[in-house]
Structure 1
Amino acid sequence: MTDLVGVNLTTQHSSDSRLQEAYLTCRQLLLNERVEQGHWEGELSTSALSTATAVMALIQVQRAECSGVELNALPELISNGIRWLLSERNNDGGWGDTPKSLSNISTTMLVRAVLEITKNTDSLKSMIDESYLINTDQYIERIGGVKAVRERYGRDRTFSVPILMQAALGGMVDWREVNQLPFEMACLPANWYKWANLPVVSYALPALIAIGVLKHRKRPTWFLPWRFVRNFSEASSLKKLRKIQPTTGGFLEATPLTSFVTMSLVAAGHHESPVVKEAVRFLQDSVRPDGSWPIDTNLATWTTTLSLNALNDDLPEEAVEPIVKWLLDQQYQEVHPYTNADPGGWAWTDLSGGVPDADDTPGAILALSHLKVRVDSSTQNRIDSAIIAANVWLLSLQNRDGGWPTFCRGWGKLPFDRSSPDITAHVLRALMETQPGSKSQIARGFRFLDRQQRPDGAWLPLWFGNQFAKEDENPVYGTSRVLLAYAVEHEETNSSERKTRMQKGCEFLSSIQNENGGWGGAKDVISSVEETALAVDALIACKSDPEIIQRGVNWLVHQVELGKIAESSPIGFYFAKLWYYEKLYPLSFATSALRNALKLVR
């Protein structure tokens, strides 16, 4: 095959033909995944964690005989969910978040709580054999139970408290183990939240309210003045919860978050709340035919922009107009009722439960910027206005450290609210392409990235990991995403410092390439389509070692020829340490890498 960065080596026509054929195959597979409206929705992995929370919520609703809910439909949903959970246990006695995931204490505790209620419910107990639970109990004891849950999340109570709450509902732990969440803080104006030092991240406000109210009902504080404040605040907090519930009924379109809210309200005696009725509707609508639930309804906006930016000029002409219109329609035009975000951003989904964020917004900016030359003048004007509003929104989100957080500027110190390298790099790429006049903000962003580079040359991402890597990290994803920004910046400024950092990042990726030519999330981790494609894309952009790139391209081409290019790996985090995989990740990432490789050999 021709050297991919232009050095004059012998051309091997058959190898180049293989690359072209692999790209065309991958491209067509990706185009085939479009829905009738012309965009992409993808498909998120089914989840034992989501299924366990949904089943627990529905059991609580059934027991309370909540009015306004189709109670006759619940027994089948519950029993089907339990059967699916029983079929998905790993050999070690635990459950992972997805069918491809290793066991973890969080999901196992959630499932075990459901099974505990199941065995003590007359209509369900025949489904559980007591001997079946022995291995699971041994797994929980071996890993560390409640202590292990707390240690897994540290100071961040966004997920540890809901897990322990469900365990308490299942009778597995005492309510004293469940931390009180300050639901009364929800009564403050939304723009005060960042000063309140909340123990949960910004997007977890519904859980803060519902679980906080339940804990207050179960074990109110002994400090009478504070107990009075919470008694007084309960009605106002629940009113706020109703106000921020989306029209689909699902908070963030997420099954776990919606389920935690539902079970908490019902257990706290608020089973007649309209929030419960709408949340149950969401759970009924989102269950899958096999009885399981995914973690979220879809990532339609995210998968669409990933696919568009992967295809670039190779998107068919007839597809351009409908996809541009659809994407423009997804931009928020009003202040968001949930996060109080200003207009201008995009969320990950086209559904009402989405929240504008600093990863999906630059993805949309880049896609629209590339498609602008292919639409009429009136649509070009719409694109210009949308990008201006989006850039204003992004610039207003920049933190004092120069980086960009996911949702809210300056909210707190917890991981999912801090600035992160992968999101910051994505924002910088969008700004450099469409807002080059923002030089000071761009410079601050790169200084943040400079400080975040590890001594080995890598950067760590926020929303992606690898279950086989040390501490579940994924430096391949983080480094690859950041290098794309450094490649653009170096092209424009020829900065020697950035060139050195870029080269160090490339050397890191090169040093951890597997013998077979692919990449996993870290050194000596099994190769995946997603991580190999990301690394290849970054190395091509940086004009790195042609032999390293060639080996990576060959691995991808071989996966296409084996029919394995669409095989997904659990590399995504949705909540803290909540794994998922997405059907379109391997196809979109591989299409981008193979397209860029093909451009260099033509």
Structure 2
Amino acid sequence: MTMQADRDATTELWEPTPAALALDRAVARLRALQHADGWWKGELETNVTIDAEDLLMRQFLGIRTARETEWTARWIRTKQRPDGSWATFHEGPPDLSTTVEAYLALRLAGDSPAAPHLVRARAVILALGGVERTRVFTHLWLALFGLWPWDELPVVPVEQILLPTWLPLSVHDFACWARQTIVPIAVLMALRPQSDLGFEIAELYGGGPAQQGGAPPDAASPAAYPLVTRAGRRALLGGGLDKVLHILERHHPRRLREHALRRAEGWIVERQEADGSWGGIQPPWVYSLMALHALGRPVDEPVMRLGLAGWQRFTVEEPGPDGPVRRMEACQSPVWDTALALVALGDAGVGSDDPMVARAVDWIVGEEIGARGDWRVRRPGLAPGGWAFEFDNDFYPDVDDTAEVVLGLERVGAGGTAAAERGVNWVVGMQCRDGGWAAFDAENTSTLPLALPFCDFGAVTDPPSADVTAHVVEMLALTGRGQTSAARAGLAWLLREQEPDGSWFGRWGANHVYGTGAALPALVAVGVHPAETPVRRGVAWLEEVQNPDGGWGEDLRSYREPSARGRGTSTASQTAWALLGLLAAGEAGSPAVRRGIEWLVEHQEDDGGWDEPEYTGTGFPGDFYINYHLYRLVFPVSALARYVRSAP
């Protein structure tokens, strides 16, 4: 049973509140979604770039089928907007590279360039500058099919794999997701393979100068996520470095190149996971398959066969308005989703004696990682432990998942296990020198990778972030470690990183609502009184950005436009994040909380969940976003439960 609010202490008669009834319906929905093995996994929805690149990869490998092509093309068409463009998130602005790649996929599927939907797409592409202005990754795909000159791509030398870890620009200067992607791309750039699409795209060229690497990305938050400080100087450095690399590329020693290619091939093969993936995410997966194929491995070779079979499991197929559709998940999040579900159920009063929770606990404890991954480069003496995001990702457990797993186990009364203790110890050992925590690595803060013209899309380093640090600090407090030196240093880091407006930047969720909703519970859990200034400033910011309808929302444009912070259509997940922050700060009786709870109750669907087409998850700030389909349920459960428990 979930908790019921407002019982009359003087009588056995009581009436459940709307919030309590909504909570019961939501918990029932969560029960219905659990897999028989104990885990939860909501779909991880991204944009059609993933689907287009799937078809392009299959074309490159020679394995594309008519069924896959037809079903995927049908899906891509459903996501085109009336203006002819495709975006990277729901109701986002037209994205040039996404539109170009979608256009390529539809041409590959046989759509005529004279068809009205492609005529509209071409108009958008040309208005935005043509293929010349697309990102480096799109140029790379074009080069693989002879539609872009290899010499006009920024150089990623495969010899980089030979650099020792202590040298600048070794692969370990890059975040784990970036290094896994850069190594196979470097192989492709060295070998320069070329396949055939069967058509040309002259109609997409705008006639302007080719961009080699593009401009540096815009600032997200210089204090919390230092992507672009001293951007002009770095751009100058990167441009000069790229010129040098182009010269070296034309005159590389043959034997050194061959040695580097062998080393890179071994590096890639060694990091293939048990499920066939590389890091459990799309970019290194597809590039690794193509790199290994370019190195001479046929598609039926064991490593290739395992990789392709694993990728097939990331396929979503369902009926569509014009026939069945097919799309790909860029990643899958069962550990993360299950940890969040445990937190929510614990908040709702469902404990480890419930069979549903017991199955989830058994499953998630069994997912503990005992191997030493790439993190050992910066922390060689640290004992392994912790959890990853995916079913299989032993090389890259992450701090955020580990913190949430431990929080979830604690919430349902299953904490204190040996696995949880190992996880806590591993997380503490991954603390950065400045007191914060990053997602996958420690001290992954070099600014040199950010200067490379190749790095024009997505975050390529892994500095500490407010949301991850907050989750760790809250975990340390909940496990009785709130006064340890690690927790105090983490608290000091969070206090330093509070924005001038009172919010915190959200690296892995959108955006300041996410960061603030994570930071306030952490501060209070570790001993900051709700009346103290940092908490009051965070509360004031959340109250200021509450929508007139009572909910909260933040458009993903806030990563590039400060004026969009905390502004956007109300969503269930973001409303819940704000409520979690306010409730932790002792605001259960406030008008803002009351209106937020009313929004959740009024917008609940008949099945107990909430509708949320908006993307509220973040892959790369400013570039790549995610709609976690379970966010719209687990976070409202936590918010409603904590309100029911604490409401006056």
Alignment CA distance shift 1:330-1:102 (3 Å): farther
Contact 1:47 1:97 in 2 (8 A): yes
Contact 1:180 1:216 in 2 (8 A): no
Alignment CA distance shift 1:244-1:193 (3 Å): farther
Please name the residue that 1:61 is paired with: 61
Superposition map of 1:33-432 within 5 A: 33-45=33-45, 47-62=47-62, 71=63, 74-97=65-88, 102-115=93-106, 118=108, 124-125=109-110, 129=114, 132-145=117-130, 149-150=134-135, 161-187=136-162, 192=166, 196=170, 200-218=174-192, 221-223=246-248, 224-225=251-252, 228-266=255-293, 271=298, 274-289=302-317, 290-312=324-346, 313-315=349-351, 317-336=354-373, 342-352=383-393, 355-372=396-413, 383-413=416-446, 415=459, 416-432=461-477
Note the C-alpha offset of 1:260.
Answer: 2.8
Alignment CA distance shift 1:575-1:449 (3 Å): same
State the TM-score, normalizing by the size of structure 2: 0.77
Alignment CA distance shift 1:132-1:200 (3 Å): farther
Task: Determine helix, strand or coil for the equivalent of 2:575.
Answer: helix
Q: Give distance in 2, aligned partners of 1:86 and 1:256.
A: 23
Q: Does 1:601 align with 2:647?
A: yes
State the TM-score, normalizing by the size of structure 1: 0.82
Q: Give distance in 1, aligned partners of 2:358 and 2:602.
A: 34
Deviations along 1:261-318, one digit per CA (max 9) or x if unpaired, are: 3334445655566543333222333222244333335211111111111121324622
Match of 1:489 among 486, 507, 526: 526
Task: Determine helix, strand or coil for the equivalent of 2:65.
Answer: helix
Q: Which moved more, 1:583-592 or 1:442-451?
A: 442-451
Q: Give distance in 2, aligned partners of 1:256 and 1:197.
A: 16
Task: Determine helix, strand or coil for the equivalent of 1:311.
Answer: helix
Note the C-alpha offset of 1:193.
Answer: 7.7
Alignment CA distance shift 1:55-1:183 (3 Å): same
Q: Give distance in 2, aligned partners of 1:278 and 1:166.
A: 23
Residue 97 of structure 2 aligns with an amino acid whose one-letter code is: S
Please name the residue that 1:528 is paired with: 571
Alignment CA distance shift 1:200-1:108 (3 Å): farther
Please name the residue that 1:476 is paired with: 513
Task: Determine helix, strand or coil for the equivalent of 1:288.
Answer: strand
Please name the residue that 1:9 is paired with: none
Q: Does 1:461 align with 2:502?
A: no
Give aligned pairs, total. 547
Q: Give distance in 2, aligned partners of 1:126 and 1:143.
A: 22
Q: Which moved more, 1:532-541 or 1:351-360?
A: 351-360
Q: Which moved more, 1:93-102 or 1:178-187?
A: 93-102
Task: Determine helix, strand or coil for the equivalent of 1:540.
Answer: helix
Note the C-alpha offset of 1:353.
Answer: 6.7
Residue 285 of structure 1 aligns with an amino acid whose one-letter code is: R
Q: Which moved more, 1:403-412 or 1:15-24?
A: 15-24
Residue 404 of structure 2 aligns with an amino acid whose one-letter code is: G
Note the C-alpha offset of 1:226.
Answer: 5.9
Contact 2:371 2:394 in 1 (8 A): no
Contact 2:180 2:279 in 1 (8 A): no
Alignment CA distance shift 1:385-1:51 (3 Å): same
Higher-helix-fraction structure: 1
Alignment CA distance shift 1:256-1:437 (3 Å): closer
Q: Any unmatched runs of 5+ in structure 1?
A: 7-12, 63-70, 119-123, 151-160, 374-379, 466-473
RMSD: 3.2
Q: Give distance in 1, aligned partners of 2:297 and 2:155.
A: 18
Q: Give distance in 2, aligned partners of 1:206 and 1:197.
A: 9
Please name the residue that 2:494 is paired with: 449
Deviations along 1:577-598, one digit per CA (max 9) or x if unpaired, are: 2222122101101101111111
Residue 419 of structure 1 aligns with an amino acid whose one-letter code is: P
Task: Determine helix, strand or coil for the equivalent of 2:636.
Answer: helix
Contact 1:197 1:412 in 2 (8 A): no
Residue 27 of structure 1 aligns with an amino acid whose one-letter code is: V
Aligned residues: percent identity? 25
Alignment CA distance shift 1:169-1:282 (3 Å): same
Deviations along 1:186-219, one digit per CA (max 9) or x if unpaired, are: 3456x55887376743223332121111112239
Alignment CA distance shift 1:563-1:102 (3 Å): farther
Contact 1:460 1:478 in 2 (8 A): yes
